[in-house]
Structure 1
Amino acid sequence: MSTVDYEIKNTSELRHAEEAMRMGELENMRPLPRISVHAFCESEELQRVMERCANDRRMSKVSLRITSGGTAAAANMFSGAPTPNLIILETRASPANLLAELAPLAAVCDPSTKVVIVGYHNDIGLYRDLIRNGISEYIVQPVAMPDIMGAMAAIFVDPEAEPLGRSIAFIGAKGGVGASTVAHNCAFGISNLFSTETILADLDLPYGTANIDFDQDPAQGIAEAVFAPERLDEVFLDRLLTKCSEHLSLLAAPSLLDRAYDFEGHAFQPVMDVLQRSAPVTVLDVPHAWSDWTRSVLSNADEVVICAVPDLANLRNAKNMLDALRKMRPNDKVPHLILNQVGMPKRPEISVSDFCEPLEVEPIAIIPFDIGLFGNAANSGRMISEVDPKSPTSETFSQISHIVTGRVAIRKPRKGGLLGLLKRK
């Protein structure tokens, strides 16, 4: 064996030994939540590391995609598709050119997307510049599995970090206005349109319909979480969820009348906390009621959507709810309004302009009455976009999904985690 071969063999063995020792760092790491990760690898070494990460038990809930290529490939891919929760990007660009190379990706990156750069230059000035410009982490090659897993954990598992997920609460101004149907279709739309892991929580324990709408019959659900808060954590929650589609999970209501469902004001807060740590988006289907616990849920949700039909009782109730929520949430934006079942035959209606004028809000969507479309979807246990994806109503639900998640049209350039780079243009 030559001296060069001997040195290479020793270096390789030393690297594997160091990585084996560092694997102990992962033993106490909590499982990563339901997030989407896309890794762009310019080297076979990083691709092998990412494949090892994909097979780790702590990544069981992560949707991971690995692509050969660098910054140009990422910018090209996301110019016509939503960005995931995390992009891991390998680049050989020099410190002088790296920021300019990242600019095209910054132009198409969603605001909530995190970015980890894997580079080849151990430069503290470059590191500080990247962090200043919105990069979550910069790792220098050669990297090992603990480096990648540790970076993801620091972003999404760190107990001191901001909650991962946003909660969107839907409530009807009156019973029977279709707020649950709207909530379920929006949850399905968010999960499908953006490939975002989404949890739909049906908070109407006695009468919830999410299990019917998705043709599910789960043995457990939200009742077990609410009535046993001392057991509630991400692992316990995972056992209670039912998979509805590739990116949508359901926390179903029991829909039984075998007991009374009386709750204290903050009974659902532990559930909401765990849901926010478990997925990027949680849709809360809140029953039409006004109690301590519903007020608490609506107060703490990131977004509130009120569904109403254009009649006098709905107008009164919507006005009262908006006034109350404005006081309860003085530092948040006004709840969204959706007008549903508009144009029902033989039913006197208040015009949209007359309905919205006293509310001082404009509806984000007007959904026409279509008993055939909605009836077929309900009876088949499917969503509107599955029954008739080309219908105007399906497009309306797509628009609602964009608005309540803070996203804009997919093909329009948008600011993202690389916000600072845009300021340099």
Structure 2
Amino acid sequence: MPLAPDGSGADEHIAPAPRVSLQAFCETVETAAAAQAAGEDRRLAKAHVKIQMGGIKAAVEAYRSSPTPNVILIEAGSRADDILHGLDQLAEVCDAGTRVIVVGTINDVTLYRELTRRGVSDYLIAPVGTLDVVRSVCGLFSSPDAKPVGRIIAVVGAKGGVGASTIAHNIAWSIGRDLSLDSVVTDLDLAFGTAGLDYNQDPPQGIADAVFSPDRVDTAFVDRLLSKCDEHLSLLAAPATLDRVYDFGTEAFDAILDSLRGSIPCVVLDVPHQWTGWTRRLLTGADDILVVAAPDLANLRNAKNMVDLLRAARPNDHRPHYCLNQVGVPKRPEITPADFAKALEDQPLAVIPFEPQLFGTAANNGQMIAEVSSGHKTADMFRQLAQTLTGRAEAKRSRSLFSPLLSKLIKRSS
């Protein structure tokens, strides 16, 4: 699948591969480059990838004296007989259970059937792109009858106090209520998280129980930690207490997210505004990212830094989305949405106006915006954000329900 002009892939959801070893034996530098780039993709983050040249002959020689990995990717020649003969030789030195992906130039159903008969897991027609390799490898570990792996949406503030948690909680609520999609909102600010307050919940257990007991994490254990907010939305709450220090390693949340992915269609991460190994890992590993910024200079700088870094770290994904919040505070000088769009080279996904009465009432009552005023334009914005971030709607920036408000704000600020 070709990349979009901005370097992002098409809107598809590819399940990440487990911790496996992959060795590729290529004949062309183009295929080697695609395999190398695939090894750097977030969906193969747990895989150990090694690239070599030489094709089938090199693979056969390599495995005469060493065990084979979980997956072998072979770039074959241009003649069907040579490909089949090479695979027969490889089969003599290949360990049981090793899966083989073949890259070739022959587009022929007879050859494909012969490859399948010999146990080849997948056949790709050259030239291949990065996502072709990622899709093929990841597809080996997703059975056709398995439930789809859950989509992870990460919401993070460009600066503290910009309302990122409120936006994350309202988006999650809209995903469950308006889209009828089973979802979990995960509050990752363990010391000061507000998800319990916003949903008017006080669960006795939450994410701390999972992160401090990674060996116990499985689907049944996680289910016991979830607090039901409504029919389709559950909460994995933060303890919001200061009786312990919450210092985590880079992979501290891997086990619980893997468990959530396997059982919940949509997981919304409320990521606190801090820059650590684990927050960076969560953001780069998410399927979709929303950066929330207020209209001032520090937010502009931070949002640009975050978007640029995440774009570079996720070359095969959609670029991170961003939205502006708390726009239009009376008498406060603000940087215009147009200036944000110029600096970030992208229009904001939403421009959410400053509505202290609406948001204050919702926060103090433990309600969502749509529960306070379902017909309010801000509630409609959260519905639009939910649709876009779950892949249910195309990202509409420059021409959408936000456009009239965006134009008005630009005129007011100019």
TM-score, normalised to structure 2, is 0.60
Task: Give the SS at the match of 2:344.
Answer: coil
Partner Cα separation in structure 1 for residue 272 and residue 300 of structure 2: 18
1:302 maps onto 2:310 in alignment: no
1:391 maps onto 2:376 in alignment: yes
1:287 maps onto 2:272 in alignment: yes
Task: Give the SS at the match of 2:203.
Answer: coil
Q: 1:318 aligns with which of 303, 319, 323?
A: 303
1:222 maps onto 2:207 in alignment: yes
- Superposed, which structure 2 residues align to 1:158-177 within 5 Å? 161=146, 163-177=148-162
Offset at 1:408? Answer: 2.8
Q: 2:393 aligns with which of 388, 398, 408?
A: 408
Corresponding residue for 1:238?
223
CA RMSD in angstroms, aligned pairs only: 1.7
Corresponding residue for 1:264?
249
User: Which residue identity lines up with residue 285 of structure 1 in the other structure?
Assistant: D
Partner Cα separation in structure 1 for residue 326 and residue 349 of structure 2: 14
User: Which residue identity lines up with residue 256 of structure 1 in the other structure?
Assistant: T
Q: 1:205 aligns with which of 179, 187, 190?
A: 190
Range that drifts further, 370-379 or 356-365: 356-365
Q: 1:248 aligns with which of 233, 252, 273?
A: 233
Indicate conservation of the 8 Å contact 2:321/2:348, yes or no: yes
Task: Give the SS at the match of 1:225.
Answer: helix
Offset at 1:187? Answer: 0.2
Q: 2:313 aligns with which of 328, 344, 347?
A: 328
Partner Cα separation in structure 1 for residue 384 and residue 191 of structure 2: 31
Offset at 1:259? Answer: 0.9
User: Which residue identity lines up with residue 324 of structure 2 in the other structure?
Assistant: L
CA deviations on 1:399-423 (whole Å, 9 max, x unpaired) are 10111011139xxxxxxxxxxxxxx
Partner Cα separation in structure 2 for residue 235 and residue 278 of structure 1: 10
Offset at 1:200? Answer: 0.5
Offset at 1:278? Answer: 1.6
- Superposed, which structure 2 residues align to 1:131-210 within 5 Å? 161=146, 163-210=148-195
Task: Give the SS at the match of 1:184.
Answer: helix
Corresponding residue for 2:19?
none
Task: Give the SS at the match of 1:168.
Answer: strand
Partner Cα separation in structure 2 for residue 367 and residue 374 of structure 1: 11
Partner Cα separation in structure 1 for residue 261 and residue 145 of structure 2: 14
CA deviations on 1:251-285 (whole Å, 9 max, x unpaired) are 00000111111111111111111111121100000
Offset at 1:196? Answer: 1.0
User: Which residue identity lines up with residue 374 of structure 2 in the other structure?
Assistant: P
Offset at 1:385? Answer: 0.5
Indicate conservation of the 8 Å contact 2:291/2:321, yes or no: yes
Runs (5+) with no aligned partner, structure 1 = 1-156, 410-425
Partner Cα separation in structure 2 for residue 167 and residue 173 of structure 1: 19
Task: Give the SS at the match of 2:351.
Answer: strand
Indicate conservation of the 8 Å contact 2:151/2:261, yes or no: yes
Offset at 1:361? Answer: 1.4
Indicate conservation of the 8 Å contact 2:147/2:262, yes or no: no
Partner Cα separation in structure 2 for residue 163 and residue 195 of structure 1: 16
CA pair 249-162 structure 1, distance change in 2 beyond 3 A: closer
User: Which residue identity lines up with residue 265 of structure 2 in the other structure?
Assistant: P
CA deviations on 1:60-99 (whole Å, 9 max, x unpaired) are xxxxxxxxxxxxxxxxxxxxxxxxxxxxxxxxxxxxxxxx
Offset at 1:162? Answer: 7.2
User: Which residue identity lines up with residue 174 of structure 2 in the other structure?
Assistant: G
Partner Cα separation in structure 2 for residue 254 and residue 208 of structure 1: 8
1:344 maps onto 2:329 in alignment: yes
Offset at 1:164? Answer: 2.2
Corresponding residue for 1:110?
none
Offset at 1:160? Answer: 9.2
Task: Give the SS at the match of 1:358.
Answer: helix
Corresponding residue for 1:376?
361
Any runs of at least 4 consecutive aligned residues in structure 1 with deviations exceeding 2 A, and if so which? 157-164
Partner Cα separation in structure 2 for residue 248 and residue 161 of structure 1: 22
Partner Cα separation in structure 2 for residue 361 and residue 291 of structure 1: 26
User: Which residue identity lines up with residue 185 of structure 1 in the other structure?
Assistant: N
How many residues of Structure 1 are paired with residues of Structure 2 in the alignment? 254
Indicate conservation of the 8 Å contact 2:162/2:293, yes or no: yes
Partner Cα separation in structure 2 for residue 236 and residue 399 of structure 1: 33
Partner Cα separation in structure 1 for residue 144 and residue 218 of structure 2: 13
Partner Cα separation in structure 2 for residue 180 and residue 267 of structure 1: 21
Offset at 1:158? Answer: 5.5
Partner Cα separation in structure 2 for residue 203 and residue 163 of structure 1: 24
Corresponding residue for 1:275?
260
Task: Give the SS at the match of 2:303.
Answer: helix
Partner Cα separation in structure 2 for residue 251 and residue 387 of structure 1: 23
Partner Cα separation in structure 2 for residue 406 and residue 159 of structure 1: 21
Indicate conservation of the 8 Å contact 2:291/2:323, yes or no: yes
